[in-house]
Amino acid sequence: MSLEELVANLKVDDKGRLVLRGVRMLFITRDFIVALQKTAEEILGPMGAAALLYRAGLATAHGLAQTIAETEGLKGFEVLERSEEPVKAVVRLYNTVAEEWGNVGRAVCHLPRGCIAGVLKFVAESLGREVDVRAQETACMAKGDPYCEIVAEEAR
């Protein structure tokens, strides 16, 4: 989606809410997401924060995929591999909040990881398959990698 298309599809509803193609949105900074995750880690520990953000990403992306049901034209990522049997996708991301973390020696993209799992779950359901999907971050800029890479696949 180009910037012009994004702006053309972005509206403010009668209650003052930002809406993109029928989906209510928030306009927040990447720094806010980083602060949210770091605070969650302080309170819940790294594993608790990872579970929280992953599950939130999975639920919201699954719903968003159902609402929008399109992915063509999005930039900042590439699908390296995909299959329907078994359900699997390998996605490389170039513009994540991991850039704001710096090199902390571990993967931090739990929210995008959950989002990719949620979208893959929607794709499976659209093919008539009811599956659990799990996603793992195999590369992350916060580990010093040049990009973030997520492998999402059917849990067996």
Give me the residue spans of the domains in the chain. Answer: 3-154
69 pLDDT more than 60: no
Q: What pTM value is reported for the model?
A: 0.75
In this structure, which long-range contacts are made by residues 37-46, counting pairs with CB atoms below 8 Å and at least 24 apart in sequence?
Answer: 37/97, 37/108, 37/110, 37/111, 46/106
Q: What distance separates the 2 farthest-apart alpha carbons in the chain?
A: 46
Question: Is residue 83 classed as helix, strand or coil in its secondary structure?
Answer: strand
Neighbours of 66 (CB within 10 A): 14
Domain spanning 3-154: which CATH class is it, in words? alpha beta
- Let me know the angle formed at the C-alpha of 21 by 17 and 25, rounded to the nearest 5 degrees: 35
Residue 72 is predicted with a pLDDT of 41
Contacts of 67 by beta carbon, 8 Å cutoff, 6+ apart: 21, 22, 23
Percent of the chain at pLDDT > 90 equals: 58
Cβ proximity of 95 and 40 under 8 Å: no
71 pLDDT more than 60: no
Tokens of 80: 């390296």
Residue 18 is predicted with a pLDDT of 86
Going by pLDDT thresholds of 50, 70 and 90, the confidence category of residue 31 is very high
Task: Report CA-CA distances (Å) from 126 to 47, 99, 151.
Answer: 31, 33, 20
Q: What is the pLDDT of residues 87-146, one digit of tens each?
A: 999 999 988 889 889 999 999 999 999 999 998 998 899 999 999 999 999 999 999 999
- Alpha-carbon distance 115 to 144, whole Å? 22
Cβ proximity of 132 and 65 under 8 Å: no
- The region of weakest confidence among 38-47, 67-76, 96-105, 147-156 is 67-76
Mean pLDDT of all residues in the chain?
88
- Alpha-carbon distance 148 to 112, whole Å? 10
73 pLDDT more than 50: no
